[in-house]
Structure 1
Amino acid sequence: MQPTPCPSPVLPITLYLAIWFLLAPAPLGGEEPATNNNLAKPIVSLPYGWPFLQPQDMQPRGGSTQGAEVTLETQASPQWKALHNASLTKGEQDQLAILALAGVYRVSFQFIETMGVKAGYHPPQPYFSWGTETVHVLHQSPDSVSLQHTLVMYFREEDGSLSEPMVMKHWRQDWKYEDRDMHTYRGNQVWARKTLSDHEARGRWTQAVYQVDDSPRYETIGSWDHTGGVSRWTSDDAWRPLPRREFAVRDDYNVLAGTHTITITPTGWVHAQNNGKLLVTDGHDQVRCVACETGINRYERISAPDLATPAGAYWTKTGDYWREVRRMWSEVFQVRDQFGLHKQADGAKLYQAHFGYAGKVEENDQYDAAAGREHARATIRKFLIDATGTE
Structure 2
Amino acid sequence: MKDGLFKRVAESMVVWLLVMQAAGSAGADGAMDVSQRQYTYSWLFADSSSMKPRGGTTSGPDVVLNNATSAEFIRLQASDLRVQERDRRAILAMAGDFRTSFDFIETVGFTEGYEPLAPYQSWGTERVYVLENTENFVSLQHIIVMHFVDDAGVVSAPMVVKHWRQDWRYQDQVMHEFQGRGRFQRRELDAASASGSWTQTVFQVDDSPRYEAKGQWTHAAGVSFWKSDDRRRPLPRREFSVRDDYQALYGSHRITITPSGWTQEEDTLKLVLADDNRPVADRPYLAREAGLSRYERLQNYNFSAGDDYWQKTENFWSAVRRFWQGVYKNEPEFTVAKSVEGKPMYSALFALADQPYGSQQAMERAVQEALRPYIRAHR
Provide the TM-score with structure 1 as the length reference: 0.87
For the 8 Å contact 2:107–2:290, the answer to whether it is kept is: yes
Q: Which runs of 4+ in 1 moved over 3 A?
A: 36-40, 284-287
Equivalent of 1:355 in 330, 350, 355: 350
Could you say what secondary structure the match of 2:339 adopts? coil
Could you say what secondary structure the match of 1:313 adopts? helix
Report the Cα offset of residue 368 of structure 1.
Answer: 4.5
Is 1:380 paired with 2:371?
A: yes
Is 1:338 paired with 2:333?
A: yes
Equivalent of 1:237 in 213, 230, 234: 230
Could you say what secondary structure the match of 2:324 adopts? helix
What per-residue deviation string (whole Å, max 9, x for no partner) do you get for residues 230-271 of structure 1?
A: 000000001011111112211111101110100000110000
Report the Cα offset of residue 283 of structure 1.
Answer: 2.1
* CA–CA distance in structure 2, aligned partners of residues 169 and 93 of structure 1: 28
Could you say what secondary structure the match of 1:56 adopts? coil
Q: Which amino acid aligns with 1:294?
A: A
* CA–CA distance in structure 2, aligned partners of residues 343 and 105 of structure 1: 29
* CA–CA distance in structure 2, aligned partners of residues 125 and 369 of structure 1: 48
Report the Cα offset of residue 75 of structure 1.
Answer: 0.6
Q: Which amino acid aligns with 2:352?
A: Y
Q: Which amino acid aligns with 1:386?
A: A
Provide the TM-score with structure 2 as the length reference: 0.89
For structure 1, list consecutive stretches of 5 or more residues without a partner in the other structure. 1-26
Could you say what secondary structure the match of 1:61 adopts? coil
For the 8 Å contact 2:70–2:260, the answer to whether it is kept is: yes
For structure 2, list consecutive stretches of 5 or more residues without a partner in the other structure. 1-21
* CA–CA distance in structure 2, aligned partners of residues 386 and 376 of structure 1: 18
Given the superposition, is the C-alpha separation of residues 381 and 150 from structure 1 closer, same or farther in structure 2, using an over 3 Å criterion? Answer: same
Report the Cα offset of residue 343 of structure 1.
Answer: 2.2
Q: How much identity, in percent, do the aligned residues show?
A: 42
Report the Cα offset of residue 305 of structure 1.
Answer: 2.1
Q: Output aligned runs, 1:296-311, within 5 Å.
A: 296-307=292-303, 309-311=304-306
Equivalent of 2:59 in 66, 73, 84: 66
Could you say what secondary structure the match of 2:99 adopts? strand
What per-residue deviation string (whole Å, max 9, x for no partner) do you get for residues 352-388 of structure 1?
A: 1001112x42xx6x76433321111111111111115
C-alpha RMSD of the superposition = 1.7
Q: Which amino acid aligns with 1:323?
A: S
* CA–CA distance in structure 2, aligned partners of residues 271 and 234 of structure 1: 10
For the 8 Å contact 2:271–2:279, the answer to whether it is kept is: no
Could you say what secondary structure the match of 2:244 adopts? coil
Q: Output aligned runs, 1:80-229, within 5 Å.
A: 80-229=73-222
* CA–CA distance in structure 2, aligned partners of residues 316 and 188 of structure 1: 34
Given the superposition, is the C-alpha separation of residues 145 and 111 from structure 1 closer, same or farther in structure 2, using an over 3 Å criterion? Answer: same
- What residue in structure 1 maps to residue 291 of structure 2? 295
Larger mean Cα displacement after TM superposition, 74-83 or 370-379: 370-379
Q: Which amino acid aligns with 2:320?
A: V
* CA–CA distance in structure 1, aligned partners of residues 315 and 240 of structure 2: 31
Given the superposition, is the C-alpha separation of residues 57 and 250 from structure 1 closer, same or farther in structure 2, using an over 3 Å criterion? Answer: same
Q: Which amino acid aligns with 1:381?
A: R
Could you say what secondary structure the match of 2:50 adopts? helix
**Alignment length, in residue pairs?**
353
Given the superposition, is the C-alpha separation of residues 163 and 367 from structure 1 closer, same or farther in structure 2, using an over 3 Å criterion? Answer: farther
* CA–CA distance in structure 1, aligned partners of residues 71 and 373 of structure 2: 45
* CA–CA distance in structure 1, aligned partners of residues 368 and 102 of structure 2: 33
Q: Which amino acid aligns with 2:346?
A: Y
- What residue in structure 1 maps to residue 17 of structure 2? none
For the 8 Å contact 1:38–1:72, the answer to whether it is kept is: no
Q: Which amino acid aligns with 2:38?
A: V
For the 8 Å contact 2:131–2:139, the answer to whether it is kept is: yes
Report the Cα offset of residue 223 of structure 1.
Answer: 0.3
* CA–CA distance in structure 2, aligned partners of residues 88 and 286 of structure 1: 44
For the 8 Å contact 1:220–1:236, the answer to whether it is kept is: yes
